Structure 1
């Protein structure tokens, strides 16, 4: 008997087109209702209910209640990381579901990957932090240097507070559109939150796309050039 983790159940659940679409719709960190996810999956409400129950049971989704309404979100950052990695693998192997359009170009430039920034902007930020001596990077091993901590604190982020969280401070995430690394983990999430706080960028209401304001684009370019 084969021992160790069994990936077959997870692979089967993610491999269904309707379930895959529902999971990817949650990659911007939002929580959606069963009806909204049914529409995304192109299936009936009754069918969606069965799919969502399986995803919750497998630990891939987190069911949330607010009043009489029930919402679903990705269970944690590990699920999002796995989905982004699969996106990157599919893109690298040429398994694309449609021809690129305007929305795809916008997503490739800047988007939300669960709780951190992804796309060309995120990759440029990662490269700048690494080349500037703020991050030590060796394949998947990544760390924030003392110089980097000073730089991040200069942006108004409490590095000590982030270091006390249970999640990793820094984590490498493979960007599916750029096929290179961007920054995830507690620091990646804190940077995105700070950019929003500073009004450097705005989230789209109906997609993972984010738009940099003119002032925000200039400030981002100055900080990460």
Structure 2
């Protein structure tokens, strides 16, 4: 391809197994140190530094400083959505990891996708909100309806604060495991944060897995029926 964006460069950055593992770890939405990312990728800290420099130069990650510590995070939601789409493409074509672990089923049920709820629970939330006319789809996009705005305020989400941000309010994100949409955007993030504050779920440390409490599952199913 002689004209247009250089997709080969981006593909090469993501395509390296070590860098792919690092980017996957950052899909949790948490900023991680170079040492933590080296552990995720199964490589030495020196090799990790070389990979992270390339990811920084390619614009896929950004660096945050806090005191003497340096943390790496995905550079934006567009990177996260691209990674999620590639995971779905790989799964759909049968390109799965040869060794599966006990977290695989848990990841499919509920996980963090950068900063919002994904997996079966995320898809169920999206479906229910569409069915209840809290969200409406149009032209490959999704938005809150007036009824949805009222629901959000009743659910404890400050919509004025969300609208003051530059980030998109609602975005559909194709779920890699369910191959259907779940809810992204600042509202999707706010929904996950609110459910966590209500005690419905907890994020597992050093993992993208989200676990619902027994009471949380009951409350979720009652509020967002399938």
* TM-score, length-scaled by structure 1: 0.96
Per-residue deviation at 1:165?
Answer: 1.6
What is the SS of the residue equivalent to 1:178?
coil
Q: Tell me the distance in 2 between the aligned counterparts of 1:31 and 1:91.
A: 26
Per-residue deviation at 1:163?
Answer: 2.1
Q: Tell me the distance in 2 between the aligned counterparts of 1:103 and 1:219.
A: 24
Per-residue deviation at 1:41?
Answer: 1.2
Deviations 1:4-57 (A, max 9, x none): 221111110000000000000111111111111112112111111110001011
In structure 1, the partner of 2:96 is 96
What is the SS of the residue equivalent to 2:124?
helix
Q: Does 1:53 align with 2:43?
A: no
Matches within 5 A, 1:7-26: 7-26=7-26
Which 4+ runs in 1 deviate beyond 2 A?
Answer: 1-4, 98-102
Q: Tell me the distance in 2 between the aligned counterparts of 1:206 and 1:192.
A: 18
Per-residue deviation at 1:139?
Answer: 5.6
Q: Tell me the distance in 2 between the aligned counterparts of 1:66 and 1:165.
A: 23
Deviations 1:103-154 (A, max 9, x none): 1001111000010000101100100000111111136221111011111111
Per-residue deviation at 1:161?
Answer: 2.3
Per-residue deviation at 1:98?
Answer: 2.4
In structure 1, the partner of 2:71 is 71
Deviations 1:156-205 (A, max 9, x none): 11223212321111101011111110000011000001111111100101
Matches within 5 A, 1:112-123: 112-123=112-123
In structure 2, the partner of 1:162 is 162
Per-residue deviation at 1:64?
Answer: 1.4
Q: Tell me the distance in 2 between the aligned counterparts of 1:164 and 1:4.
A: 34
**Range that drifts further, 32-41 or 124-133:** 32-41
Unaligned runs of 5+ in 2: none
In structure 1, the partner of 2:110 is 110
In structure 1, the partner of 2:179 is 179
Distance 1:139 1:207, change over 3 A: farther
* TM-score, length-scaled by structure 2: 0.95
In structure 2, the partner of 1:131 is 131
Deviations 1:52-92 (A, max 9, x none): 00101111111112222211111111111111111111111
Q: Tell me the distance in 1 between the aligned counterparts of 2:47 and 2:32.
A: 16
Aligned-CA RMSD value: 1.3
Q: What is the count of residue pairs matched by the alignment?
A: 225
In structure 1, the partner of 2:83 is 83
